[in-house]
Chains A and B, each alone.
Chain A
Amino acid sequence: MSWAQAILLARGLSWGWGGICGAALTRAPFSQAPLWAPRGLHRSATACNSDSWLVPPSPEPPKGPPKAPAPHEELFTQALGGTRDKANFVRAVQNFGQHNVYKRGHVDFIYLALRKMREYGVERDLAVYNLLLDVFPKEVFRPRSIFQSMFIHYPRQQECGIAVLEQMESHGVMPNKETEFLLLQIFGRKSYPMLKFIRMKLWFSRFKNINPFPVPRDLPQDPVDLAKLGLRHMEPNLNATVTIYQMPSSKDSTGAADPTEPHIVGIQTPDQQAALAHHNPARPIFVEGPFSLWLRDKCVYYHILRADLLPPEEREVEEIPEEWNLYYPMQLDLDYGRSGWDDYEFDIQEVEEGPVFAICMAGAHDQATLAKWIQGLQETNPALAQIPVVFRLAGSTGELLGSSSGLEDPPPPPPEGQEEEEDNQQRQQQGQS
């Protein structure tokens, strides 16, 4: 064997073993491994040009600045067309296997791909996760003896598998049979990723439907549809009617001085309509808001129309009509026989608040928009014309503003409220005429 060939073989052997050990053991120094591996390749390529088991130099561009980007990052930056979508992500993942048959650096690549998923918008796609798990070489990491299964066999790879499953879990993606088969092929039945998969299967199926107020996963993009969904979500009464008082105007209308009209969507139940009709016109009603409502990850704001609680002396006493037939009574009082044993009421006075008459969601939170809502409400509630409406619009801290008695935090100052009240009375009269 010649001198050059001996040195070449020695260098290749030391590089080879060092590369594999470096890949399996630690993550941090691993970034150095591909740095000197291609250098070794290039060096050996220049020294000798005949060897068979050396892989030809990879077409990867050389590493740039010393503050190195993550290894294999260029696979993602080379996205053709530049758009970040599923096809490009899949292509980048598939490109990884093409450069090196032995899939060197697959752990780092998978971590990088997990980080990049959010940018490409594929974090909730099960097929992409399965494709990512496919990057692992199969049958290599399965333990073959009792001793191998006693200790964590190939710990970095198992951690990486667990990281993929953990990202699936945090985005609520349910794994399927393909995932199970892949994990079985890669890690074997007794491994930690397989255990995590069993736990996910069990607990996800247990907790899938525990939300009594489910919100659909894909929220509508149209603000009017979103407002309708939100209003229906808040109102427990199914008799309520949703009314769109104003649609948003199109964007390409000329008129720079006139800002786009925001949408106004309101909801009201027949009970609330009746209560508003019975409301005493001497007492004002308030428009309060904006309050926040979260639908999954979108926050929408709503306003409510409510009145203050009537003091006890002004509350109407319900009249009990006289029974006209004792065999078919109109009221049944089955409370007899209740002793301490049967008392399921809580010994506390619940918080009482004034009645809510309507809820609305609008694009803008200013008084003009809400005044339009009130005008729209007047069509179905003619009694609203006589009642003074006070606007109590605060910043959205989320708390309902204090009522007229016993305040802790001062609401927007009362003189302003009174001015608005007078304004509104004028507006009511103008709207009427």
Chain B
Amino acid sequence: MALVLKFLNGTYIFRKCPKPNVASCPFLGTHFVDYCSSSLQKPVAAPGKTSSQRNSEGDLQGHHQREVALDITSPEEKPLISFDKAIKDEIKDQLRRLKDDIVNHWIGPEGRPLHEVLLEQAKVVWQFRGKEDLDKWMVTSDKTIGGRSEVFLKMGRNNQSALLYGTLSSEAPKDGESGRSGYCAMISRIPRGPFERKRAYDWSQFNTLYLRVRGDGRPWMVNIREDTDIMQRKNQMYSYFMFTRGGPYWQEVKIPFSKFFYSNQGRIRDAQYQLLLDKISSIGFTLADKVDGPFFLEIDFIGVFTDPAHTEEFAYENSPELNPRLFK
């Protein structure tokens, strides 16, 4: 069933990139197709956040399978691992995850007892205390559309925080269709269960996002994406701004989820609805403030908590000028 799901995922992407010969075995075929979609550099939609998200998806699915597909796609490169061993390791890994999943289901949601989950008011979702924590994130910049910004992610001092740094360049790529450019993004990978099934975060009992960061005074944008497999939701995300203070002191940023506005393909949508927290796929930070120069952002941890003083459900109301149909 998981293979069928994978195949379905693969065929969806297959429609985007017409490759004449799909590999015979469906399992490997989907790997191949995933890898090919990640090499699509030129987005069809307008440049901007959309391309970062699109390529992030391609990278997401392509990266994970890259070791296995290495022999097929680049035969001239000497394979570092043997094909059979890689397959065996992968199967063992997935079966172990399946066992963990089944066992955890008996204990409680995500392997924690139910009373602990229900009473929880503050939860740390991402922390940066080791190299494996950095693997849960990936960074993109406008290099994918031909721009010149660079961005890197590494562990900060004493392995206690993550440092996202680089240079932003708003020089537009000379491909005849982009008018503006210059963005860098750090996006979290979608949580996966056994056999690479997509999982989602369930934050329905919390109402505020909490970040402990140290920036350099630049304004960042926090984007939250829900499950993007559905065609309608492919380029939609909820965003809000995070203003860093700069300076040597750590800064606590608390953004209530009611403040996130809904945008599609990089533009704010007219019809706004609140962010529903039960199927969150990934979170990302984007810098695109049209100022060229180096930047850095040090992140200690990212968590969610319930702010009992915050009772707002949604901060933006729809206006009858922009949405007459909603007010009939």
Question: Which A residues are closer than 8 A to B by beta carbons?
Answer: 170, 195, 198-199, 202-203, 206-207, 210-213, 215, 230, 233-236, 291-297, 299, 302, 304, 306, 339-348, 350-351, 353, 356, 359, 396-403, 405-408
Contact = CB atoms under 8 A, between A and B. Distances in A.
A42 to B, nearest CB: 34
A210 B241 contact: yes
Nearest to B252: A350
A342 B248 contact: no
Main SS of chain B's interface residues?
Answer: mixed
Given A291-B216, A297-B291, A351 B124 contact: no
B296 A399 contact: yes
B199 interface: no
13 contacts: A210-B243, A230-B246, A233-B246, A291-B248, A293-B217, A294-B218, A294-B293, A341-B121, A343-B122, A345-B122, A351-B158, A399-B163, A408-B158
Contact of A235 (B241, B247, B301, B306): B247
Contacts of B141: none
A294 B247 CA distance: 10
B116 interface: yes
A347 B123 CA distance: 7
Contact of B217 (A198, A210, A295): A295
A406 B127 CA distance: 19
A399 B216 contact: no
Contacts of A342: 121
A337 B303 CA distance: 25
A342 B120 CA distance: 9
A344 B305 contact: yes
Contact of A346 (B210, B268, B294): B210
Contacts of B291: 294, 296-297
Interface in B90-132: 115-116, 119-124, 127
Nearest to B296: A398
Given A206-B316, A294-B217, A350 B243 contact: no
A294 B303 contact: no
A170 B246 contact: no
A350 B300 contact: yes
A397 B124 contact: no
Contacts of B158: 351, 402-403, 405-408
A203 B121 CA distance: 33
B310 interface: no
